[in-house]
Amino acid sequence: MEIVGTKKDVGKDRWDLLFWDAVEEVVKVSTYGSKKYADRNCESGISYGRVFAGVLRHLVARFIHGERINKEDGNLLHLAQAAWGILLLLAYDLRGLDVKHDDLTPGHRIHETNPEGAKA
């Protein structure tokens, strides 16, 4: 059968180029997190520093300690958990939540209060 139809998709985003097996692993992280905490819990806000630290811990586990699978956290892949954290930071950035949660970027420091009430 000869395909003769045309489709004008030049310049459109190429969703077909995504690594769907990798995306599926990140979805497993979201599913695990929704069971452990609650659906969309992270959208309530987590400081950039805490998310960034988690990303780094997963990268260190994978590349420094050679651990591919996180046996302490649902047998998920450390790289999938790191990717999920990066996607969360990207979502915060795209949604303009960096003003509330960015404690890393100079000029965007959030102010947290320590237990004694003094600003940290």
Q: How far apart are CA 72 and CA 49, in angstroms?
A: 22
Residue 25: inside a domain, yes or no? no
Whether 52 maps to a domain, the answer reads no
- Quote the Cα angle for 119-51-85, to 5°: 160
The pLDDT of residue 117 is: 43
Q: What is the DSSP letter of 83?
A: H
Residue 20 lies in a domain: no
DSSP assignment letter at 100: H
State the total domains in the chain: 1
Average pLDDT over every residue of 96-111: 69
Q: What is the DSSP letter of 112?
A: -
Q: How confident is the model at residue 8 (pLDDT cuts 50, 70, 90)?
A: confident
In a domain, 12, yes or no: no
Q: Kind and range of the H or E element at 76?
A: strand 76-77
pTM of this prediction? 0.79
Rg for the chain, CA atoms, rounded: 19
Question: Is there a domain that residue 17 lies in?
Answer: no
Domain residues for 63? 58-98
Is the residue at 23 inside a domain?
no
